[in-house]
Structure 1
Amino acid sequence: MPMKVKEVAELVGISIRTLHHYDNIGLLSPEATTEAGYRLYSNQDLETLQQILFFRELDFPLKKIKEIITNPDYNQQEALQLHRKMLLEKRRRLDGMIQTVEKTIQQQKGEIHMTNKDKFEGFDFTRNPYEQEARERWGDEAVDQSNARFNKMSQQEKDHMSRQMDTIYRKLATLRHDPPDSETAQTAIKEWYFFLNDSINNNDLMKFKGIGQLYIDDERFTNNIDQYGEGLAAFMRDAMALFADRHIQ
């Protein structure tokens, strides 16, 4: 029996606004509407929605999902097998990070001792869920150069980069309530600029400004960054834009 948008939203646990957005961008347009204009979702529509949400859970951008599921060669069974493999891998990585969190709690209580290597078990920087979007924004060459540079790093260098990034985020989080154009904020964001330049060879100030905007445009970035402190992503966006505008020749 066809379902109205409110019923689908309640069944799935997503917002009506999200379903409307999927319809507006042509990602999921229900097969029928009532005479009053209400959307009616069929069982096939619900299966498509399930596929979309699997892809979203795996951090695929909506544009890429639409490209995949509208491809004439798209095979739902193959996609489900791929989803299963990727979700199992995601669970494996999350289990590793949970174990590291639990060990860190034990260490802080004085119950165990962790080596520096133990502290970073479970972190994996070989997979970048934002790579496709980076390619769309800045081209394949820039991303390929960045990947090549990262792949040449030793594990020790990768661990150092992770610790350095964490330190900068924590420092910026303590400043997020300050004006983004303050001296302290601009000094800290300069450190972030040089970190990105060293780690991904990004010395283009306009790209730096664009990355900052991406922290707000893409909720995945926002959610990850705001784990260090609510509002940090917006603060970094503003501080990065000011830094870039001041230094562009």
Structure 2
Amino acid sequence: MENLAAGTPVDFSLVALFMRASLTVQITMIVLVLASFWSWAVIIQKIITFTAARRDTAKFERAFWSGSPLDDVYDHMSGRAKSAAERVFGAGMLEWRRSQKDDGGIIPNAQQRIDRAMNVAIGRESDRLHRGLPLLATVGSTAPFVGLFGTVWGIKTAFEGIALSQNTSLAVVAPGIAEALLATALGLLAAIPAVIAYNKLSSDADRISGGYEAFADEFSTILSRQLEDD
């Protein structure tokens, strides 16, 4: 740590604090800043993804409940399903068509296979929605401790400098403590948005997945009526 003459102005800007910190603390700060940027990239990407998922689902459900025959809806989107709801619907319709015999009858246990196909599709879409969220949980839970490590290391270095200089005046102690505390501040800066975003986005992902499951149940009910009529 630098020996500071009495009355010498000290630069406490973030850049100056970073440059005066030890190499270990600097690396810790860089890791926390990168984690924060990475978290915000995931947050922004998930907000865009969830917004598009809600919009596409609403658009598909309008077409589904428009009164058009289900075969027409499926043929219109077949091979180019754009939304998760379309892929769930497509999985059910594909299995429905595979369950039909050449004579117009339905093979046994068709309903179970259709439900299973839609559940598999819902599982894949749910995995897509939750992808990246564990990163936010990891950053939210570990960043404060990483920052605390940087602070402890910085304070250790500051006290070593004090011992070597044999000067305990506030002008000597304050810069080293400020540099060390910056690591904790960066840890909290990375962790707080990550925790808030993880809780919100996880809830949104579960809600969207629940919408897919509700649609699959309604669609399965429609198909079960047709199976009973047959």
Band of TM-score, shorter chain: under 0.3
What is the TM-score when the length of structure 2 is the normalising length? Answer: 0.27
- Choose 1 or 2 for highest CA Rg: 2
TM-score (norm 1): 0.25
Structure with the higher helix share, 1 or 2: 2
Which structure has the higher relative contact order (CA within 8 Å, separation 6+)?
2
